[in-house]
Amino acid sequence: MLIRTPAASSSREDEVTPESIYLSRRAFMAGVGAAAALSSLPGQAAEAAAYADVEPANAPAWFSGKLQDARWQAITAGNEAVTPFKDATHYNNFYEFGTNKGDPSRYADKLSVEPWQVKIDGEVGKPGAYSLEDLLKPHRLEERIYRLRCVEGWSMVIPWLGFPLADLLQLVEPNGNAKFVRFETRLAPDEMAGVRSGFSLIDWPYIEGLRLDEAMHPLTLLAVGMYGRVLPNQNGAPLRLVVPWKYGFKSIKSIVRISLVAEQPKTTWEAIAPNEYGFYSNVNPEVDHPRWSQAHERRLPSGLFSPNVIPTRMFNGYDEVATLYSGLDLRKYY
Ligand code: MTE
């Protein structure tokens, strides 16, 4: 089942569809004084912030504080059901912790995420090493319910909590030479079993990149939370990118460095198999992966008797990004 979704950036808080999410009075916003946080929200938003199977977390102070004035359901995915928390946190790709889908939830708690610093460098007026707290201070958190489509053919619907990457970039003042943004994941072999493994194809650290205009697009998010709580480690704590119209591997986790650069960066998957994983990697049902079709996706949870296969949509349904690529041959620049 696929239901028509309004253009994501045109969604408003008063257009929310309560059926699209798991509403439960039993559930609470993990990691915050739930009652306090919920009572500070208007009726429907308070309901919306509660997801049925969320596991509690010990949220750091910087997160709890931010939650108080978060904008709930700033963007929704229409009537599409939010993926259960259990699936979103136990079916992961985070190769630093292993290649099996269950490895990140099993091993990522080894990653120490506090304190956390992000280095911002390259073609910017205000380079520096910013603590996560300082980085977040100017920004109000928004809940954005986005589709996530993995290049492997599965998809989820995830309520992220974050702020637009554009807001951060504007503050650090990119100069005229900045044409691309390069992102780097923390590299900590002692804490990352997948990095220590001799079998990995990846030349660590994990690197991703966007064109500057893609990075500045209002849909591009830096997330620090999901399902009303702080990000679990396996989902990329404490800071990850979310680019909803691109295949999931562009959404790099546990970011420690953001560089504004003049040249298109060499990214991890493109370096491994350039004929399979392009720099752009926009979700495109008409351009197949060399080894499988991209016309359909398996929306999780899915099983043998209910595979839940749905058609894949151009730009993952985020049509408003099409103008970024006008004149670009998307078969060549896949
Ligand atoms: N970021 C890092 N550092 N390492 C990874 O292995 N995997 C990517 C992306 N970000 C990955 C990463 C892939 S392939 C996908 S599909 C998404 O993370 C999965 O995000 P999720 O586990 O939160 O669903």
State residue 117's pLDDT score.
98
| The model's pTM | 0.88
Q: Is residue 27 in some structural domain?
A: no
Residue 281 in marked binding region: no
Tally of CA atoms within 13 A in the half-sphere of 60 that contains its CB: 17
Across 172-254, the runs of DSSP E, i.e. the strands, are 180-185, 207-211, 221-226, 229-230, 240-242
- Ligand 1 atom with least separation from CA of 92: 22
Q: Is residue 51 in some structural domain?
A: no
What is the residue with the minimal CA distance to atom 8 of ligand 1? 249
The CATH code of the domain that includes 146 is 3.90.420.10
Q: Is residue 334 in some structural domain?
A: no
Establish whether residue 84 lines the binding site of ligand 1, counting it when its CB lies within 6 angstroms of any ligand atom. no
CB 147, CB 244: distance < 8 Å: yes
Domain range holding 106?
70-325
Residue 240 in marked binding region: yes
Q: Which helix (H) or strand (E) holds 171?
A: helix 165-172
Residue 272 in marked binding region: no
Cα 205 to Cα 96, 191, 210, 248, 253: the distances in Å are 9, 13, 17, 17, 11
Chain CA centroid to CA 98, Å: 19
Residue 202 in marked binding region: no
Establish whether residue 89 lines the binding site of ligand 1, counting it when its CB lies within 6 angstroms of any ligand atom. no
Q: Is residue 5 in some structural domain?
A: no
Predicted confidence pLDDT, tens digits, the chain (334 residues)? 122 333 444 344 433 333 233 333 223 333 333 434 444 444 444 444 579 899 989 889 899 999 999 999 999 999 999 999 999 999 999 999 999 999 999 999 999 999 999 999 999 999 999 999 999 999 999 999 999 999 999 999 999 999 999 999 999 999 999 999 999 999 999 999 999 998 889 999 999 999 999 999 999 999 999 999 999 999 999 999 999 999 999 999 999 999 999 999 999 999 999 999 999 999 999 999 999 999 999 999 999 999 999 999 999 999 999 999 999 999 999 9
Residue 92 in marked binding region: yes
Q: Which two tokens stand for residue 47?
A: 């309901």
Q: Is residue 3 in some structural domain?
A: no
> What's the gap in Å between 125 CA and the centre of ligand 1?
30
Establish whether residue 235 lines the binding site of ligand 1, counting it when its CB lies within 6 angstroms of any ligand atom. yes
> What's the gap in Å between 206 CA and the centre of ligand 1?
10
Q: Is residue 17 in some structural domain?
A: no
Q: Is residue 13 in some structural domain?
A: no
Establish whether residue 96 lines the binding site of ligand 1, counting it when its CB lies within 6 angstroms of any ligand atom. yes
How far apart (Å, rounded) are the C-alpha atoms in residues 34 and 44? 15
Q: Is residue 44 in some structural domain?
A: no
Establish whether residue 185 lines the binding site of ligand 1, counting it when its CB lies within 6 angstroms of any ligand atom. yes
> What's the gap in Å between 94 CA and the centre of ligand 1?
5
State residue 91's pLDDT score.
98
**Number of domains within the chain:** 1
